[in-house]
């Protein structure tokens, strides 16, 4: 009995498990793997929270955003309503169109300018928001690359990974436009 106990103490004794330690050299321990997976998921969720946790807009800003979204659908539905009115009630429609024919040309120009400025300003504001989001994303690129390298080294078959970031190709249409415009009026 003493011989068996001494052999078992040699394999499992001193608070160590030599058999388990030897097996874990060749096969990942389930508990250690679960811990690494859990840490990886927590890091991914934290990254998502940082990316999407934007300051909330106030009630006034949300109302104004809603009001700013109304003109385009109203114009589209108004045009469809006019087409339907022309088919359903041609006399009523013709009467209204005769009234529109009396509108002076400078007033049409003014309406065109107002609509152009509204949609142009909205397009510019949305374009600037998009450029800002692209700049924010690009500013996080080095952090993302470091995180990917750290995560790649957690793999059991980890070998040093060479990360290269592809540079986007130039935009030929934009280059032609810059050449024709002489580089004036270009935005960043």
| 112 in the same domain as 148 | yes
Q: Per residue of the chain (188 residues), what is the pLDDT tens digit?
A: 677 777 777 766 666 666 677 777 777 777 878 888 899 999 888 888 777 777 778 889 889 888 888 888 898 899 999 999 999 998 999 998 888 888 899 898 998 888 888 778 877 888 888 888 877 787 878 888 888 888 888 887 755 555 555 555 677 877 888 888 875 554 54
- Whether 70 maps to a domain, the answer reads yes
| 108 in the same domain as 119 | yes
| 112 in the same domain as 87 | no
Using a cut of 0.85, tell me whether the model's pTM lies above it: no
| 141 in the same domain as 114 | yes
- Whether 182 maps to a domain, the answer reads no
- Whether 180 maps to a domain, the answer reads no
- Whether 177 maps to a domain, the answer reads no
- Whether 118 maps to a domain, the answer reads yes
| 153 in the same domain as 108 | yes
Work out how many domains the chain is built from and give that number: 3
Three-class SS of the chain: CHHHHHHHHHHHCCCCCHHHHHHHHHCCCHHHHHHHHHHHHHHHHHHHHHHHCCCCCCHHHHHHHHHHCCHHHHHHHHHHHHHHHHHHCHHHHHHHHHHHHCCCHHHHHHHHHHHHHHHHHHHHHHHHHHHHHHHHHHHCHHHHHHHHHHHHCCCCCCCCCCCCCCCCCCCHHHHHHHHHHCCCCCCC
List the domain range (segments joined by +) for residue 11: 7-53
- Whether 2 maps to a domain, the answer reads no
């Amino acid at each position: 009995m003493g011989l068996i106990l001494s052999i078992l103490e040699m394999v499992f004794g001193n608070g160590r498990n030599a058999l388990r330690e030897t097996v874990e050299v060749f096969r990942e321990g389930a508990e250690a793997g679960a811990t690494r997976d859990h840490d990886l998921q927590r890091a991914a969720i934290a990254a998502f929270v940082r990316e999407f946790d934007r300051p909330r807009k106030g009630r006034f800003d949300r109302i104004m955003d809603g009001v700013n979204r109304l003109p385009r659908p109203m114009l589209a539905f108004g045009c469809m309503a006019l087409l339907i009115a022309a088919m359903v009630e041609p006399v009523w429609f013709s009467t209204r169109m005769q009234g529109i024919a009396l509108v002076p040309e400078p007033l049409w120009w003014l309406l065109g300018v107002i609509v152009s400025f509204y949609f142009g300003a909205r397009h510019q504001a949305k374009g600037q928001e998009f450029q800002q989001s692209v700049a924010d994303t690009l500013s996080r690129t080095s952090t993302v690359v470091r995180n990917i390298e750290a995560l790649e080294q957690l793999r059991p078959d980890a070998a040093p990974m060479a990360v290269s970031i592809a540079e986007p190709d130039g935009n030929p249409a934009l280059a032609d436009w810059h050449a024709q415009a002489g580089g004036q009026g270009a935005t960043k």
